[in-house]
Amino acid sequence: MLEVRGIKTEFRTDDGVLTAVDEVSFDLRAGETICLVGESGSGKSVTALSILRLLPRNGDVTAGEIRFDGRDLLQLSAEQMREIRGNAVAMVFQEPMTSLNPVLTIGDQLGESLQLHLGMSKQEARGRAVELLEMVGVPRPRQIVGDYPHRLSGGMRQRVMIAMALSCSPALLIADEPTTALDVTIQAQILTLMKELAEASRTATILITHDLGVVAEMADKVAVMYAGQVVEEAGVFELFDNPKHPYTVGLMKSIPHVASEPDAEDRLESIPGTVPSLANMPHGCRFQDRCPFVMDRCRAERPELADTTTGRTHRVRCFLFEDEQVAARSEAVTTS
């Protein structure tokens, strides 16, 4: 359904042209969920905005292809993209209060896309809005359609955003940190809701998160991003059982665990340093200054994202696994 091939997203700034997303590639099938994981500043949200072509005016996708259902979205006109957004492809943004219009009722905002994309009358759209709110678990939906966003809790606003995103039965749903501002109980309800709806409608989902607990619950496969690049991609079980890239290993070790017999000397591990600045990206491997296994080669050469012997569904961008990658390429050539 979705093929992202080597996209490069750049921003024109006072400091020059900055590359926020660099050669990112992944595939997504109908009904499948991929999680984009990484620290703030790793390029997850910019990747999503690149797919929808919702970048700010100083940003452009300067290379690559984004093929959705066989069409390259980067080659479509602005009018063609407007027909796709909210219809075939929808997005749930991170902060619903800034995404919802404060001067329009919930019913008007839900009905807008129904009238625009499905040709419903205002009355039909309002009736469908009530059904959508009921579907996502909003209590008193007939009353809520007449309310304004500020009257709803954070969890209810996020449910409204999901209802809006699903209103036209999109083939692809992009959710950018949809539960970040919610308490754990509401977060669990929202994630369960998204999972059930995606399974029922075979909706493909891109879920952006930094929470590996959410990844374990939701993902079919995972793309770990660092400094604008995908550094590892694998199925969710393979990634948790056999993480390869030092950054992925560091993320796994930073997950808190509840021990049956806690040890006072046990400390939560962390990854030293910070993500490099876009204006001062290191030559070679971008993780070099934080990596415990850094070699001279890492500072001189740029590693490529390549298959490993674990399988073609597990790719890693690291020289530590070059022997595995060479073996995987040889096996692929022999098989073909």
Is the confidence at residue 7, as pLDDT, over 70?
yes
294 shares a domain with 221: no
120 shares a domain with 241: no
In a domain, 263, yes or no: no
In a domain, 261, yes or no: no
Is the confidence at residue 263, as pLDDT, over 70?
no
88 shares a domain with 221: yes
134 shares a domain with 65: yes
Q: How far apart are CA 198 and CA 122, in angstroms?
A: 27
Query: pLDDT band at 254, cuts 50/70/90?
Result: confident
With beta carbons less than 8 A apart as the criterion, state whether 295 and 301 touch.
no
286 shares a domain with 175: no
157 shares a domain with 81: yes
With beta carbons less than 8 A apart as the criterion, state whether 11 and 59 touch.
yes
209 shares a domain with 291: no
Q: How far apart are CA 279 and CA 247, in angstroms?
A: 21
Q: How far apart are CA 180 and CA 6, in angstroms?
A: 29
Is the confidence at residue 95, as pLDDT, over 80?
no
Report the domain count for the chain: 2
Give the CATH number of the domain where residue 93 resides: 3.40.50.300
In a domain, 262, yes or no: no
Is the confidence at residue 197, as pLDDT, over 80?
no
Q: To the nearest whole percent, how much of the chain has pLDDT over 90?
A: 53
Q: Which domain holds residue 206?
A: 2-226
Pairing of strands 33-37, 306-308: unpaired
65 shares a domain with 11: yes
The two three-digit tokens of residue 243, written as one number: 């993480």
The mean pLDDT of 61-80, rounded to a whole number, is: 94
Query: pLDDT band at 163, cuts 50/70/90?
Result: confident
In a domain, 320, yes or no: yes
- What does the DSSP assignment read for 193-261? HHHHHHHHHT-EEEEEES-HHHHHHH-SEEEEEETTEEEEEEEHHHHHHS--SHHHHHHHHTS----SS
Q: Supply the pLDDT for residue 265.
A: 58
Query: What confidence tens digit (pLDDT) does each residue in 38-52 have?
Result: 988 899 999 999 999
235 shares a domain with 155: no
> CA neighbours within 13 Å on the CB side: how many for 6?
3
Residue showing tokens 């579907």: 135
Sort residue 173 into left (φ over 0), alpha (ψ -120 to 50) or beta: beta
Q: Supply the pLDDT for residue 168.
A: 84
Q: 229: which residues sit within 8 A by CB, 6+ positions away? A: 22, 23, 24, 43, 286, 305, 317
Query: What confidence tens digit (pLDDT) does each residue in 274-318 have?
Result: 889 988 899 999 999 999 999 999 999 999 998 887 655 899 999
138 shares a domain with 25: yes
242 shares a domain with 160: no
In a domain, 173, yes or no: yes
> CA neighbours within 13 Å on the CB side: how many for 73?
26
Residue bearing the bigger pLDDT, 244 or 193: 244
Q: Please give the model's pTM, rounded to 2 decimal places.
A: 0.88
In a domain, 241, yes or no: yes
With beta carbons less than 8 A apart as the criterion, state whether 157 and 149 touch.
yes
